[in-house]
Chains A and B, each alone.
Chain A
């Protein structure tokens, strides 16, 4: 079975500061990894995905993530937080040939002016 761990349900960051959200995965097969963002009362929007190509993945809104197999991690970063980044962020895992997603519990990001 595949699973994802996201620590720290609430993350506060100052406007202009680095955003770092941690994701560790468990998978018995090579994983596909995703970060989704959810704004209040909305569905999930894909930020970026790793599907066994480049280990450094760039996504929308200035976010990027690096796949590190040795650390079973896929942490999400953004160099400079913006007020519009306030939302909930989910890391998810699937595998080749099976797009069933297993999600972490999410990180609620609060941006402080």
Chain B
């Protein structure tokens, strides 16, 4: 049973470019949340997708957008990259918006470096 998978593992971009990160949830899960973890900080909630719609959003600008596909996988898109977008991006999946005592399962993350 595969857990949460993310691709790519590492990514290097330059300022102003656009990037797409991908996430496949754990088998049986239908909800995907994205978090940004800057170096030396705790993860910060970006947004959450359920039934192909954005259900909640954290304090992130519109440059951050996402999508969920019918197979529950998800993409995170970031436009007009800034140096400050350099971080580890974590995807977490769960069953429903708050199923099974709110537990979420995290993927290994995508390390984005913006030069």
**A residues adjacent to B (C-beta < 8 A):** 4, 6, 9, 32, 34, 36, 41-46, 49, 51, 90, 92, 94-106
Which residues of B lie under 8 Å from residue A92 when comparing CB positions? 42
Query: With A45-B106, A99-B102 given, can you name 18 additional A-B contacts, CB distance below 8 Å?
Result: A4-B42, A6-B42, A34-B103, A43-B107, A43-B108, A44-B43, A46-B105, A51-B101, A94-B102, A98-B56, A99-B94, A99-B104, A100-B45, A100-B48, A101-B35, A101-B104, A103-B42, A103-B44
A96 lies within 8 A of B42 (CB): no
* Interface size band for B: 20 to 34
A100 lies within 8 A of B56 (CB): yes
Q: Mark B23-56, 1 if CB is under 8 A from A, else 0.
A: 0000000010101000011111100100000001
Majority DSSP secondary structure for residues of A touching B: strand
**B residues adjacent to A (C-beta < 8 A):** 4, 31, 33, 35, 40-45, 48, 56, 58, 90, 92, 94, 97-99, 101-109
Sample (14) of A-B pairs whose CB atoms are under 8 Å apart? A34-B103, A36-B106, A41-B108, A43-B4, A90-B43, A94-B102, A96-B102, A98-B97, A99-B98, A99-B99, A99-B104, A101-B35, A101-B92, A102-B45
B33 lies within 8 A of A100 (CB): yes
